[in-house]
Copies of this chain bind each other. A is one copy, B any other.
Amino acid sequence: MSTPQVNDDVPSTANGATEGIKRNPYASNASDLLSNVSNFQLIESTLREGEQFANAFFSTETKIKIAKALDDFGVDYIELTSPAASEQSRKDCEAICKLGLKAKILTHIRCHMDDAKLAVSTGVDGVDVVIGTSSFLRQYSHGKDMSYIAKSAVEVIEFVKSHNIEIRFSSEDSFRSDLVDLLNIYRTVDKIGVNRVGIADTVGCANPRQVYELVRTLRSVVSCDIECHFHNDTGCAIANAYTALEGGARLIDVSVLGIGERNGITPLGGLMARMIVADRDYVLSKYKIHKIREIENLVAEAVEVNIPFNNPITGFCAFTHKAGIHAKAILANPSTYEILKPDDFGLTRYIHFANRLTGWNAIKSRVDQLNLHLTDEQCKEVTMKIKKLGDVRHLNIDDVDSIIRDFHTDVNTPRLSPVSSDKNDDVPPLKKQKQE
């Protein structure tokens, strides 16, 4: 059962760390012997898949800036648009290969000898070969049958290997391909020594349990690494990536903000949010996650989009707590309502206290911040005043501060009736908001 007991001896430290929990319930499941949740690698494809995003037009300068930022972040591979796509694409590929980055440089080509020759001439560390294997793509895209596909794959793979660079073979639209055809071709290319085979959910149709089953099955057929590529049309690209790692895949294709064809693929930041919950030490040892916001801003500016309001980690409200009962618990121990630590990402938590759902614990915390002194009873009373105004209109922090200051002056000025002037009207008692 994967819902283990959290040890009760959590320390009541102010920073709410979970150090006192003796084991991490979100770590790789002990029964998953093949899991790579604690041993994954990233193939960063902003400069390939991301270039297929509707708004993307990357100049050479921008490409280099993005490649350097990704390298600094710590991605294992950087994948570039095929040099066969256009003359500038070829030149950019060569330029990035010459930067001397720690990350390995890949380019992504069709399963054609012409493309393969061009690719190896650019100086890349590896070549990612892809061909459509679904009946849809075989019929409407390239029109080739499986024996033709296998034959050209072998030719291309042996050519690339003869140049001593890495080679990956991927099917396209894997989840709509015939399983036996797929396993046959993966076994063939594994035997001739590819470094990786790839599974691609090209249309974004796969769900986590399908992914797990296909990856586990493939894991038993090939000995090389398994790479996975998930589109996000039905919103499952992060979960599918995580589940693929559980099933024995090792490498995940990501792009910054998930940019790519249509609504894109597994986003780098979102996957980091998922993985840090599973293995914080591994993620922190490999990747500079405090750079995520900077990298997202760089790419968002280049493709002229806004960071989505609900983006994992960097969405403007990802660490904002609003309802009274949440605020109360978060003030006592942030782990109550946070599985991610904003500090890890160079970000800060915010308790949203200026609204009608607020509670007296949040207001008490604000009173302390203002260096004022009110008893708990007085805090409850001023909270009721704040909630009443919050029922009438949108509040801002100044509104709340001014109510608190006025109240503080009132209770500390003997000539005025101290408190509760409007307490006994006919409204029911106001309480804190509660929720799941």
Contacts and interface: CB of A to CB of B under 8 A. Distances in A.
Contact of A333 (B26, B136, B274, B337): B136
Given A52-B357, A87-B388, A338-B203, A262 B137 contact: no
Interface residues of A, number: 144
Given A277-B205, A316-B54, A86 B390 contact: yes
A312 interface: yes
Interface in A118-160: 118, 130, 134-137, 139-141
A311 interface: yes
Contacts of A214: 1-3
A25 interface: yes
Contact of A261 (B141, B173, B278, B326): B326
A370 interface: no
Contacts of A84: 428, 430-431, 433-434
A204 B136 contact: no
A85 interface: yes
Contact of A109 (B130, B170, B309, B434): B434
- Main SS of chain A's interface residues? loop
Contact of A317 (B54, B204, B208, B352): B54
A257 interface: yes
Interface of A: 1-8, 10, 12, 25-26, 29, 48-49, 51-55, 57, 81-82, 84-90, 108-110, 114-115, 118, 130, 134-137, 139-141, 170, 172-179, 182, 198, 200, 202-205, 207-210, 212-214, 217, 229, 232-236, 238-240, 242-243, 246, 253, 257-259, 261-264, 267, 270-271, 273-274, 277-278, 305-306, 308-312, 315-323, 325-326, 328-329, 332-333, 335-340, 352, 355-357, 387-388, 390-394, 427-436
